[in-house]
Structure 1
């Protein structure tokens, strides 16, 4: 029987409709197309040896004795060659009239090239490679945060053409903006309201409920819990949350980075096994906004992993309501039962 569920974090309703899982779906739509796990591609600008096909690196983890923008790296960060925003523009005030308002497209748009390997995603990386990706996220967030004009930075990862990826080579991105996006403002407001009413963190309360009910937990370790949210927007959506209250991803220490790399590796293994192939997905990190004038210590950062097992169609785009064809409880049960050793 279908039902509505409300996400306390976003305030949005979703429709859980398991009966829709019986619809016929082309198997090709369920899996990401990967070029037979090729280790290198001559045409790929992110592959080792093709460094001059990208803008100059702003960060790289390299072997000793190797120079910038050449072979010998294990991870590189470069500006996006086709950026949505640019830090070279001068930030101005909003201009226009009551109906048409605009401002210069100032901001940052960077690409984290996660590995020299052309098609090895998280579930096929070594743990120390995933750790390097997390350290790179942290390093670049710290650097971008120093620019006081920036109010928010989103780390995100698109995998597979249906998830918006234009290149196969494993990479994530950071886009930093001089304003806080609407979606983040809504989360901030809901967390602020809950803190004002209860004197406690909303996401801490949600996490405690998940641990108490034990219906949607996928995996836990000392530092993090992965679970399928009560109001998951899509089948097998997974949220990864710090077990302690923390508003800033950049506060992670080496032990916590290691624990996060372990749970990410495990979650991706479980997901790909459950779906029966390399599933297209979107991943994002919601961090606290960088408002100088407001206290956001009540915010609790988190990572969302959303598999793209179905298309966004007219209803979703027109209403803003997502339809999920898999009960989160069943998804979590399936994921948790998978042996990944």
Structure 2
């Protein structure tokens, strides 16, 4: 005899409309004992200045370029960028199985603060607002270049996310092509907009506000929530309440409110396991290809790897690499944990 389905106890799949893919949720697995790898939590950085740090003011970087004695936010072209700005000649072939095309772009590093010891949750709302303002400027200036069609703003925080320097910083990759995941998202957003005349995330956000089960934080302009289709244990997303398609549509008040919810969310992350919480985070917004993109709706993804403690992380291996994404604790459970964490800093 079959038992009645319960999303807290029974395996099930959830659909991600942004990527047109499914995630397997297995809540019963969260009860199993853990004997896997544990990461040592990193100690918090104490020094406001590190003479060996290539991002600190006045220090020389690996290529010999000296940073200015900057205060606040500082942006420079990545000394070892994954993209090059120079164009190249290329004879395109029609080979169906061995397709190649040159890629062109600009990589930049953005130091959030001159203070080596800080992370975003430890910065003031005013200081984070300055970061948001620079993000907006960089998106606008890079997007104006005739060969830049997409500007990706992101941050990798923590050594286990591949961050090689603890100085508070993020990156900007601006490129000719629309990257694969963004292109998939854009197509799904456009399909929905063409069908309904509203943005997918506007309708989704209204449903989430009505349910009020996965929402963590909310202010006048933004909502932070655990997506219904979240893959990572404590994955979250910040969505603008208005269907703004990029940072260019942000007023100064929007920038302040975005900075406030960024700070509150990242403080909650730090308070989950009383550690400086690692993550990869990035903004998704309209491409800069001169199209109007009414289908786009500003949002920011946070993908943290930690699962059970400051030393136990989630691995995407085996089934996840060969079949589809899978998670154990439900999005509702992780949202409940995040909601219960106060917004005060460690």
CA contact 2:268–2:343 (8 Å) conserved in 1: yes
Q: Distance in 1 between matches of 2:257 and 2:336?
A: 22
What is the match of residue 210 of structure 2? 212
Q: Distance in 2 between matches of 1:36 and 1:50?
A: 18
CA contact 2:103–2:176 (8 Å) conserved in 1: no
Q: For the structure 1 residues 56 and 128, does the alpha-carbon distance in structure 2 shift closer, same or farther, using more than 3 Å as the test?
A: farther
SS of residue matched to 2:73? strand
What is the match of residue 309 of structure 2? none
CA contact 1:234–1:326 (8 Å) conserved in 2: no
Gap regions ≥5 residues in structure 2: 1-9, 307-313
What is the match of residue 235 of structure 1? 233
CA contact 2:271–2:342 (8 Å) conserved in 1: no
Paired residue for 1:46, among 55, 58, 83?
A: 55
Is 1:313 paired with 2:310? no
What is the match of residue 158 of structure 1? 156
What is the match of residue 15 of structure 2? 6
Deviation, 1:229, is 0.2
Q: Distance in 1 between matches of 2:136 and 2:327?
A: 32
Paired residue for 1:183, among 171, 181, 200?
A: 181
Per-residue deviation, residues 232-287 of structure 1 (Å, max 9, x unmatched): 01111110000101111222111000001100100011112123322220001001
Deviation, 1:91, is 5.0
What is the match of residue 18 of structure 1? 27
Paired residue for 1:334, among 331, 334, 337?
A: 337
Q: For the structure 1 residues 148 and 273, does the alpha-carbon distance in structure 2 shift closer, same or farther, using more than 3 Å as the test?
A: same
Is 1:133 paired with 2:131? yes
SS of residue matched to 1:71? coil
Per-residue deviation, residues 34-68 of structure 1 (Å, max 9, x unmatched): 454332222210012215557869xxxxxxxxxxx
Deviation, 1:175, is 0.5
What is the match of residue 64 of structure 1? none
Deviation, 1:192, is 1.1
Deviation, 1:97, is 4.3
Over aligned residues, Cα RMSD in angstroms?
2.1
Q: Distance in 1 between matches of 2:60 and 2:329?
A: 43
What is the match of residue 310 of structure 2? none
Q: For the structure 1 residues 27 and 271, does the alpha-carbon distance in structure 2 shift closer, same or farther, using more than 3 Å as the test?
A: farther
Counting only pairs closer than 5 Å after superposition, residues 248-327 of structure 1 correspond to structure 2 as 248-292=246-290, 294-309=291-306, 310-319=314-323, 321-327=324-330
SS of residue matched to 2:19? coil
CA contact 1:287–1:301 (8 Å) conserved in 2: yes
Per-residue deviation, residues 139-187 of structure 1 (Å, max 9, x unmatched): 1111101112111111010011221212111111011111111111111
Per-residue deviation, residues 78-113 of structure 1 (Å, max 9, x unmatched): 1111100022x1155573441323333410100001
Q: Distance in 1 between matches of 2:46 and 2:91?
A: 47
SS of residue matched to 1:311? coil
SS of residue matched to 2:333? helix
Gap regions ≥5 residues in structure 1: 58-68
Pairs aligned (count): 326
CA contact 1:37–1:119 (8 Å) conserved in 2: yes
TM-score by length of 1: 0.89
